[in-house]
Structure 1
């Protein structure tokens, strides 16, 4: 997978993905979008436009145009959208010149409640149970399915077997073991753990909360971390920072495995996309783990995300658009495997396809698929940009400044409660 500096890629799944308000600047952004259009579709039927954000992996653009050209029931025109894709899409969905079928990143609440996307329940329902349920959940509102997950990205811990063995440290199964192990693994040239150059503030998100058996938003639609266990768990992340067990200021950030490969850290948090590079460099001298559980009610935690294919409510050909989305992301399993694994390293969104994929059937890759299936969580539909900002700001103060986790989280809980009330009034 290419770095962020070389183009937008699937790592954006883990970036902020809340709804985007339309402003005057958005209309300008839409007008400024290039007509970067690839003519696809060998069919003689009605024309359909399909939008993708700009992937960083070489070959993706050619592949999606090839898929479109193979569709015989409509003439599908693929548009590759460089720049701020989410902003472009938000503007376009309010016009008659927007896409028929388009990618959406993260939860769909704003588009659903704004009447901007169409119901895809009938298309997905027959195979609903075969999708990774964690990534399907943010596409569901009021028991209806509004998007089809395309491919799954996930994050996990990479650990260097030889370094742990030499230090007498077992692969950590609990957060306490991770804290203790990272301290033992820290020496003059090597740090025990790398969670990013900011100490994990930007990447961890709700992962520690899920590891404590909590959630961001509970099934009851209320704050899911208004619990003393949340403060205890985040206090342990602060302990890693205070112990100086964390690698900070690495040449490349958490999404790049170079610090791990070069031996600057014994354990690193990174994405599944890094696995081929790690394996090529280290052979079998590494393993992968979920974020370890914390406390009696805790459980291993693995963040997952998936772009979804949605259909615009302003499409002039909604039936044809829905039929194409179903054909590509449900019927054509060969294209789904190709999309996930031929231009990067991702998990097909369908569980059955992930299990059959040869690249994912052994070793650390198979472990990663199992973790994503058994322990995966995605940001819930009701977790908004305001919620995310409030929580991440508090996490920064806790980890870097040593702020009191209990008081910080109380403030976040109040803000999230207020945001939930605002959202539910719409």
Structure 2
């Protein structure tokens, strides 16, 4: 995933996203240079023909898998289009033209602007009584004013990977507080290995982790203003700034944070990354690693991590809305065997329907089981549905200035807070 899935998780309009919980996906990005549509579906001669869009997932075999799923549907022929490049940009453009895909995936479900513009269909009836089987926070994230506009496909999450043997040799316990994380990063770094890696820009998706781990959130409880204009978050950012400038962070790795290679290749002793990388890391390191949530930051902080999911959506202005709804229900609600296959056999992920997790062998023991518990105990959606791109741009710029240019957090974020208030009025209006 590039930040398609990885963004998804930073996900999704979040501070760094770009990069947000998505979250599994392509290591290149989303859509842009699309491959030619692939005709699927056993009903090749069916009068109903649907188009379905995916971004380019990075996990081997995923493209063949989704085509296989579509081919098993006998009520319509389904044309699967696999897209590489800037998926979000291409999708946004397509939704404004006549070339609208009937079914498409969107990071964390559709944006509030898609919903307000009438671009996505209401899927409340499609999911029906099965709603209770899905992660409730993801259902809420893909809902607006009581209606569900996206059906979660698979859950991805962020994790702190650490080498067990290196921590043991250094006499360290897995860090549960940010102070412990900083101490470990400094003690573990060597001339050949970084102590901690969070991204080649030195920041990656960490601002979102700092937000949650310091006990803050995107908005206040009433969603009327920014929820991060607090001294605890200001200190979290300046504490991270100190780490950024300490030399303990690896800031030039072979791959970026959303790829587990720097950790697996022993370029760094610890890495903030995604569950989706666990399979490849295990192939290289065996059992010599563990996973953690982001450590608690400050006096009121608590351990936390971000998660997200791509949501299956139906174009409200498509030619076959009802047929598309029926297909989406069949694929992401009814076909539980496909959902287990999708989560378990192409990277490591958690099924969006929680009751299916025990069927995933990669989550049954070891680090996979630890990750599933971290998700249950410490997971938070990567962003709020009302968190818009304009808010994210302002937030990202401010955080970069605070960390890289030593700007004053209170002053920088006060301007972001004003932008957030104005944007909330716009999207609610």
Q: Normalising by the residue count of structure 2, what TM-score does the alignment of the two structures yield?
A: 0.88
Q: Secondary structure at the match of 1:165?
A: helix
* Residue 378 (structure 2) pairs with residue 375 (structure 1): yes
1-side partners of 2:393 and 2:99: how far apart? 32
> Does structure 2 conserve the Cα–Cα contact (< 8 Å) formed by 1:137 and 1:380?
no
1:18-74 CA distance string (max 9 Å, x none): 59xxxxxxxxxxxx9768121122234522222222223332222222211211222
- Which of 195, 200, 208 is the aligned partner of 2:198? 195
> Does structure 1 conserve the Cα–Cα contact (< 8 Å) formed by 2:95 and 2:119?
yes
- Which of 325, 328, 331 is the aligned partner of 2:331? 328
1-side partners of 2:369 and 2:185: how far apart? 25
* Paired residues, number: 407
2-side partners of 1:125 and 1:234: how far apart? 42
Residue of structure 2 equivalent to 1:81? 83
Gaps of 5+ in 2: 15-31
> Does structure 2 conserve the Cα–Cα contact (< 8 Å) formed by 1:190 and 1:264?
yes
* Residue 295 (structure 2) pairs with residue 292 (structure 1): yes
Offset at residue 209 of structure 1 (A): 0.8
Offset at residue 12 of structure 1 (A): 4.6
Summarize the alignment of residues 195-274 of structure 1 with structure 2, pairs less than 5 Å apart. Answer: 195-200=198-203, 202-221=204-223, 222-274=225-277
Offset at residue 336 of structure 1 (A): 1.0
Label 1:256 to 1:97 Cα distance change in 2 as closer, same or farther (>3 A).
Answer: closer
Residue of structure 2 equivalent to 1:386? 390
Label 1:180 to 1:139 Cα distance change in 2 as closer, same or farther (>3 A).
Answer: same
Residue of structure 2 equivalent to 1:27? none
Is the deviation greater in 141-150 or in 309-318?
309-318
Residue of structure 2 equivalent to 1:420? 424
Is the deviation greater in 255-264 or in 309-318?
255-264
> Does structure 1 conserve the Cα–Cα contact (< 8 Å) formed by 2:189 and 2:248?
yes
Offset at residue 86 of structure 1 (A): 2.2
Is the deviation greater in 333-342 or in 178-187?
178-187
Is the deviation greater in 286-295 or in 340-349?
340-349
Summarize the alignment of residues 273-284 of structure 1 with structure 2, pairs less than 5 Å apart. Answer: 273-284=276-287
Q: Normalising by the residue count of structure 1, what TM-score does the alignment of the two structures yield?
A: 0.89
> Does structure 2 conserve the Cα–Cα contact (< 8 Å) formed by 1:45 and 1:73?
no
2-side partners of 1:249 and 1:187: how far apart? 14
2-side partners of 1:123 and 1:313: how far apart? 14
Is the deviation greater in 294-303 or in 351-360?
294-303
> Does structure 2 conserve the Cα–Cα contact (< 8 Å) formed by 1:347 and 1:369?
yes
RMSD: 2.3
2-side partners of 1:363 and 1:287: how far apart? 8
* Residue 351 (structure 2) pairs with residue 348 (structure 1): yes
Is the deviation greater in 397-406 or in 315-324?
397-406
Label 1:289 to 1:15 Cα distance change in 2 as closer, same or farther (>3 A).
Answer: closer
